Structure formats: C-alpha cells, structure tokens
Amino acid sequence: MPSAPRLPWGLALPLFAAFASVPFVLPLTLPLLLRASTASSTSATRQALSLHRLGWLPSRLPRVPSPRPPSAPPPAPIQTSSPSPPLPSPPPPETATAADGETGGSEAERCDVYDGEWVRDEEARPLYAPGTCPYVDEAYACAANGRPDSGYTRWRWAPRHCRLPRFNATDFLARLRGKRLMLVGDSMNRNQFESMLCILREALPDKTRMFETHGYRITKGRGYFVFKFVDYDCTVEFVRSHFLVREGVRFNRLGNSNPILQIDRIDKTAGRWKKADVLVFNTGHWWTHGKTARGNNYYKEGDNLYPHFDSTEAYRRALQTWARWVDKNMDPARSVVFYRGYSSAHFRGGDWDSGGSCHGETEPTFKGAIVGSYPLKMRIAAEVVGGMRFPVRLLNVTRLTNFRKDGHPSVYGKPHGRVSKRKQDCSHWCLPGVPDAWNELIYASLVLEPNPSSWKQR
C-alpha cells in the first residue's frame, strides 16, 4: 500500500508559524497595542480634562468591592478603540457628564460637586459665629449691622451623588504649611478672602499667632493684604485686580484724563502672582456696568483704542490674556491655580444703582428661572480654561449661588439705618455665609486631587 504524501518542509514551517502566532504572539502584543491607544487618547484629551479638575471628584460614598476574577478567564476580546472615550471639551454647563471609564479593571466613582443642593445644618454651620471674626469688614458684617435673622448662616452645600470631605481648618493650614495662598480679583474675591481668614482663624488656639504683616486693617480702600499664620509659616494674601488686565488712562486734546482698559496686557500686579503656591483668580462684576459695559473709547489693544467695542468680547480677550500669562509663568509642578466663576446677584425691581432690592429675603430659593440660569461669561470662562495648557481648576460657584437670594447684605452693609433702601447690596455676601462654601470646595480640591509634585507628601 503506497504511503501518504508528505508535506514539504518548505510549506510546513510557514503554516506552523501562522498557527502558533495566534494563541501565543497575540496575547503578548495586545497589551502594547492597547497601551499605545490609551496614551493617544489621554494626550488628545489632556486639555479637556483640565476643565474638570474640580468639577469631578472621587465619591466619598461606600463602595461595594468588585468580585475576584476566575482563575482561568476566557481570552479577552480584541479591542479596536480606547477603553475610555474622551470627555467633551467643554460640556454644556447644565448637562452632567458621565463618569470616567474603567481604569485598571475597577470603575472610579465620580460626581459633579456642583450638582447639589443647600441643606440646613444646625450643628455644623456656621463655621464661625457671627461677630466673632475681626477680619470681616463693615460691608459684610450683617449681624453686627443689625440683621435680625440668622438662618442664612445655617446652610451647607451638599453634592447629590458624593460627599465632600468634612471641613477641617487645622488640616487646611497643615496643607498650606510653608506656602502662600493668594486671592486675586475684585471685591467679590475680597469677600472670599475675608471668609478664608475667618475659617482658618478658628483652628488657632492662640488667635494672636495670626496677623497682617503691614499692620493694615481690612478696608475696601486698600488693595493688598498679607496675613501670616506664624505656627504654620504660611500666608493668606489678597491682591486687588478688577479685570486681571491692565487699567490705564489716556489724555484727550484738552488735557483731560479718561480711563482705558488694555485687554491685551496683564495687570501690573502680576509680579506678585508669580510667587504664590495657591492662586484663586476672579473677575466678572466690573464688566457689567458703567463705562465697561458701554465700551466707548475704553478698550485698547496694542496702539488701537476702539471707538466702540463689545464688553463681552472684551471679557473673552482679557481672559485669554490672563490664560496666556498663567500658561507662560506658572509651573504645575509647584503651584495650584483656581479660577472662581461668576457669583450670582439677586436684585428685584432694578439694579445695584437703580433701586434694585433683596431686602427681606430669609430663605434660599429652590425654583424659578434664576436656579437654572448660567451667564454667558461663565461659558466663556469655561471655554478659556478648557483650552489652557496649565491645569487650572475651575471653581464653578455660579449654580450654587443661584439659590442664595437670602445671603446678601441688602440694607445691612452698614449699621442699621445708614443704608438707603434704594441702593442695596445684592451682589456681595454676608459673613459668615455663602463664600465659606467656596473655600470648603478649595479645601476639598486640595484633599482629593493630585497636588504639585514639589509639595511634600503628608
């Protein structure tokens, strides 16, 4: 009986290599392919993710551990795309974005800390008693000025789907040890600065271990303060800059001076900003009224003084100037930078200079158009921050301030009886009050997010 024909060696070797490569070579090369795909996706979305640095925080809710995988899992299917799709940049502010995809086989629970509500907290709020902090200037000292109700001090911001870490002023100071925290902006940032001083002061057994280094008393007329916390070798500072870009003057043919705003030049105080370890910027309210809103012979770029220029576009270009400065001058390995968003005002029947009122408001509002409103300037800020190389943390307080029509000084910006009811303050905030929550969010960010590599690990 004739023997079966034998397969030539020249053909047997390629066929054997082809069959062997599928079960053995593919598992070896697949991780390399996926790693390259993931790296490409991460690089493409780095700028987009920087927008969410504070908007997305790990959940503090208890988690159920994932079951252990079987000892002999089936072969993994071939993936042709990145395991986690990139986040949109920037997302619509009203829309909650899905949580990040799985990383390393476990799902990272995350939530939007600005999707939440104010809850009454009689035990833990306020963080300091009204009238006890000497650093609240007269304009925000509502209780001392005769405001009879105190309910506005009893509210705490609570995200819907996660828990913020409990505020700890001692731990906050420990994280600032040897560092400079600087707030740069307009009077709204001075409002927040005074809140920061008061909540950190509560951690000091000896209150004299905190002082203003120049001996200055806080007033609206002065634009630079440095407070030293001796036991922690740190400072909390305020630098006034209404627009973050340079204010100036021009002289007409008659020799009269007129103010201008150079939207392509950074503010002259920027030399101080460089030295800070934590920066909190803001600008907004000065863009909405007077010469800034009208834009007539006011905005300047280079040598060009515009006869008329739109204030919203000027705001965008000013923020772009600020963003370029941060990208060029700040080092993410050494500093943390926040941009605090627009804080809502609550005038009824007019504006700040035309009879607008918020007097008599004693509770937050939980419905109505104001709750869901989101100003164009915040969309612009989100867009600019999302396009930066530096990972700025957007402190998006607009939504949480929408609710708080009860938190303004109204007629209590001066001792009772000295404020005209036709010129109430429905923009700034009583202290203790709403700005304390902004500073709690800064603390949460420093606790939960990766901090600069040069900071010592605690």
Show pLDDT as tens, one digit a residue, over the chain (458 residues).
445 455 454 545 444 444 444 444 444 444 444 444 444 444 443 333 334 444 544 444 433 343 344 444 444 443 333 333 333 333 333 333 333 333 333 333 568 899 999 999 999 999 999 999 999 999 999 999 999 999 999 999 999 998 999 999 999 999 999 999 999 999 999 999 999 999 999 999 999 999 999 999 998 889 999 999 999 999 999 999 999 999 999 888 888 889 999 999 999 999 999 999 999 999 988 898 888 899 999 999 999 999 999 999 999 999 999 999 999 999 999 999 999 999 988 877 656 555 577 989 999 998 877 788 888 999 999 999 999 999 999 999 999 999 999 999 999 998 875 766 667 999 999 999 999 999 999 999 999 998 898 887 54
- Please say whether the beta carbons of 358 and 424 come within 8 A: yes
pTM of the model: 0.77
Q: Retrieve residue 126's tokens.
A: 């306020």
Distance CA 348, CA 354 (A): 10
Task: Classify 153 as helix, strand or coil.
Answer: helix
Task: Name the nearest CA neighbour of 360 among 310, 306, 406, 422.
Answer: 406
Q: Is 187 a catalytic residue?
A: yes
Q: How far apart are CA 443 and CA 458, in angstroms?
A: 15
372-376 LR contacts (CB < 8 Å, sep 24+): 372/94, 372/402, 373/344, 373/402, 374/93, 374/94, 374/398, 374/399, 375/342, 376/312
Rounded to whole angstroms, the Cα distance separating 458 from 450 reads 12
Question: For residue 337, what pLDDT is reported?
Answer: 98
d(CA 308, CA 77): 61
Decide if 261 contacts 291 (C-beta within 8 A): no
Q: How far apart are CA 48 and CA 386, in angstroms?
A: 6
Catalytic residue (choose from 187, 311, 335, 343): 187
Instruction: Look at the block and give the residue holding tokens 């509770």.
Output: 363
Indicate the DSSP class of residue 308. B
Residue 425 is among the residues annotated as catalytic for this protein? yes
Q: Which of 408, 425, 436, 445 is catalytic?
A: 425
- 428 noted as active-site residue: yes
What pLDDT is recorded for position 378? 93
Predicted local distance difference test score (pLDDT) of residue 368: 77
d(CA 111, CA 168): 22
- Alpha helices of 96-217 — where are they, by DSSP H? 169-175, 187-201
With residue 132 as reference, give the H or E element that holds it: none
User: How many CA atoms, within 13 angstroms, populate the side-chain half-sphere of residue 338?
Assistant: 29
The letter for the amino acid at 71 is S
Burial of 435 (0-12, 13-18, 19+ CB in 10 A): buried
Q: Is 90 helix (H, G, I), strand (E, B) or coil?
A: coil
- Give phi and psi for 42, each to the nearest 5: -65, -40
Catalytic residue from among 241, 285, 428, 445:
428
Neighbours of 222 (CB within 10 A): 13
What's residue 255's pLDDT? 80
Residue-level pLDDT at 430: 97
Sheet holding 234-240, edge to edge: 210-212, 224-229, 234-240, 180-185, 278-281, 336-340, 393-395
pLDDT at 353: 53
